[in-house]
Amino acid sequence: MTESSRSNRGDGIGIEFTGAIVRGVLLDRHVAGRLKAAAEVGISSARDDQSVVDALVRLRAELGGAPVPTRVALFPAGSTMHRVDVTGRSGPELNTLRSALERDLGVSSSVLIDDGPRRWLMAVRWDDSAVRRLEELVERAGFVDVAIDPSPVALCRVVPVGASSVRRDAGSDDTFDVIVRGIPIVACATESIGRQTPGLSIGRSAVSIAMFDDVDDPSEIVSLVQRVVDVQSTDTATDQASEPSDAPALRIADEAYPPYPAHDIRAPQRQCVALGAAVGAAGLSGRIRPIDMMLPPFTTDDGLERPWAIERMSTLAPRATARPVSPTKRLVGRVLPRRRR
Q: What is the mean pLDDT of each run of 10 residues along the chain (341 residues)?
A: 55 95 95 93 94 97 94 95 94 93 92 92 94 95 94 95 93 91 94 83 90 92 92 61 59 90 94 96 81 64 55 68 76 67 50
> pTM score, two decimals?
0.81
CA 12 to chain centre: 15
Given this model, what pLDDT does residue 2 score?
46
Given this model, what pLDDT does residue 200 score?
94
Q: Burial, 251: exposed, middle or buried (Cβ in 10 Å; 0-12, 13-18, 19+)?
A: middle
Q: Residue 312, by phi and psi: left (phi above 0), alpha (psi -120 to 50) or beta?
A: beta
| Four-way CATH pick for 3-290: 1.10.600.10, 3.40.50.1010, 3.30.420.380, 3.40.50.970 | 3.30.420.380
Given a contact cutoff of 8 angstroms between Cβ atoms, the answer to whether 204 and 162 are in contact is: yes
Given this model, what pLDDT does residue 241 score?
40
118-125 and 80-85 beta bridge pairing = antiparallel
Q: In what order do the strands lie in the sheet with 35-42?
A: 35-42, 21-27, 12-17, 69-74, 144-150
